[in-house]
Structure 1
Amino acid sequence: MISGEQRVDPELTTVIESVVGGTPCANSGEFHYSLAERRWEWSDDLARMFGYEPGTVRPTTELLLSHQHPDDRATGEAVIHRVEDGEPFCGRHRIIDTADRVREVIVIGDYESDDQGTVVGTTGFYIDLTDALEEERNDALDNVLPETIAARAPIEQAKGILALIYGLNSEQAFAVLKWRSQHTNTKLRALAARLVEEARQFDPNSPGARTRFDHVLLTVHELVDPAADAS
C-alpha cells in the first residue's frame, strides 16, 4: 500500500483520476518504487487488479514476475527492470491475476527525484484495458480519428496516435499526453506537435515500432524547440 509519507507526484495522481474519470474503480492503480530500499508500494486499486485484498500481501519483484503472462514475460520483465533502474518507461503487456484471469494492461512510469535532483525512485500507474478493450479501441477509431483528420490540430493528432498505438480512448490518451506535458514542464501543444512529427518518421508496422514509440513518448520533450515551448 502506498504510504502518505511518500513523495508521490501530485500531478500523477491527477492523471490517474482523469484516466478513470474521477470514479473509484479497479481499472487503474498507482505504484511507487524506492531505489534505496528496493521496496515496492501499491495503491489499493493496484492490489485488487492483481487479485489481492489491500494489505494482505507485500509487493515484491518476484511477486510481480509471477503474475506475468507466459507469452509476454519478456515485456513484463523489461518494464519491471526499468522501474528498478529508475528509468522512464511505457509498456503494454498481459498479467494473470490470482483468479487466473488474463488482464491486458498499460504501465506508464517516470523517475522520482529529491530536491537535489537525485533519482530516488520510480512512480507510475497501471491501466487495465481488459473489460472494455474492444469497445474503447473502436471508440478511438470512430471518434478520435475523424476529429483528428478534420481538425488537424497537434493535440488531436497526438491523441489519435496514442489511441491507436496503445488502444486508449480519447480521454485516456489526453490524460497520458497531459501527464507528459506537466511532468516535463513542456507546453502541451508544443509537446503534441513534436510527438506527431516524431511519429511520422517511423513505420508502425516495422519490427520494434512499439518499443521505439515508447521511447519517443518518454523523451520527446527533449526535442521540443525552446521557441515553440515559449510561444
Structure 2
Amino acid sequence: MEWSDGMFGIHGLSHGDVVPTFELFMAHKHPLDREPVRALWVNLLDGGGQGALLHRVIDVRGRERRVFSAVQAAAEPSGQVEYVHGFMVDVTQSLRIESQHAASDAIEGVYGHKALIEQAKGIVMALRSVSAPAAFQVLSTRSQHANVKLHIVAEELVNAAANGKAQEVLAGY
C-alpha cells in the first residue's frame, strides 16, 4: 500500500513516519465507519469496480476529520484485482461551514421572524379584541389554509396595517 503526502497528512502523519498498511488504514477509521469502509473494500476486491464513501478518520492526535474517498479496483479478465487506486479528500472544514450556515438558517427561521409575528399578533389582538394565544391561532390558521409560512402571513398583515388596510386583510382570515 502506498500513500501520498496528503494521505499521510489527513492521518496526522508525515511521509516516512510509518509504513502504510491496510490495518493502519482501517485503525484510523471512526469506529462507526469501519464496517461501511470494510464493506466497500470487500466489494471492490471481489472483481473490481468503483466506489465512493463519505466517512470519518481519526488522526494520530485524536482529531476527527470528515473525508470523501473514491476508489477504483482494476481487475484482470479473470476477475482477479490487479491494483486499487483512489484518493481521499479532507472535507471537514467545508462540512463545518455548511453546518454552520444550516444552523444559522434554522435559528433565523425560528427566531428571525419572531418580532414580525409578535407585531402581527398585536394587530389581530387590537382589531379583534382577542388574547395573544387566540391571535396566534388566527395567524396560524391563515398560514395553514393559505399554505404559506407564518412569517409571510404576519408580514402581509403588518404591511397592510402600515397602509391602513389591516381590517380588510384580516377580514379575509
TM-score, structure 2 as length reference:
0.49
Choose 1 or 2 for highest CA Rg: 2
Name the structure, 1 or 2, with higher relative contact order (CA <8 Å, separation 6+).
1
TM-score, structure 1 as length reference:
0.38
- Structure with the largest fraction of helix: 2
